[in-house]
Amino acid sequence: MNLIHTTLLSAPQKESIRALTEACRRAEPITLSAPSEDGLDYYLIYENTPEEGGLTAFSFLFFVPQEDAGPASVYTCEYTAFVHPAHRRQGYFTEMLNAALTAADRFEKEHRCQVDFCFLTDGKSPDASAVLESIGAEYWFSEYKMVRPLREKDMDYTANVQIEEADAAAGLYTASLDGEIIGTCALLPSGRETYLYAFQIKEAYQSRGHGRDFLKGMLSLIAKNSAGGSENTISVQVSGLNYIARNLYKKTGFRDTESLSYYIY
- Residue ranges of the domains in the chain? 2-136, 146-257
Is CATH 3.90.230.10 correct for 2-136?
no
CA dist 87 → 52, 91, 190 (Å): 17, 9, 27
Which residues, given as ranges, of the chain have pLDDT below 70?
49-53, 67-72, 227-230
pLDDT of residue 221: 93
What is the C-alpha separation between 198 and 228, in angstroms, rounded? 25
Q: Tell me which of 3.20.20.70, 3.10.20.600, 3.40.630.30, 3.50.30.30 is the CATH number of domain 146-257.
A: 3.40.630.30
pLDDT at 255: 94
**Alpha carbon of residue 171 to chain centroid:** 13
- The total number of residues shown for the chain amounts to 265
What is residue 50's predicted lDDT score, i.e. its pLDDT? Answer: 53
**pLDDT, position 51:** 55
How many Cα atoms within 13 Å fall on the side-chain side of residue 134? 9
CA distance 18 to 61: 17
pLDDT of residue 34: 82
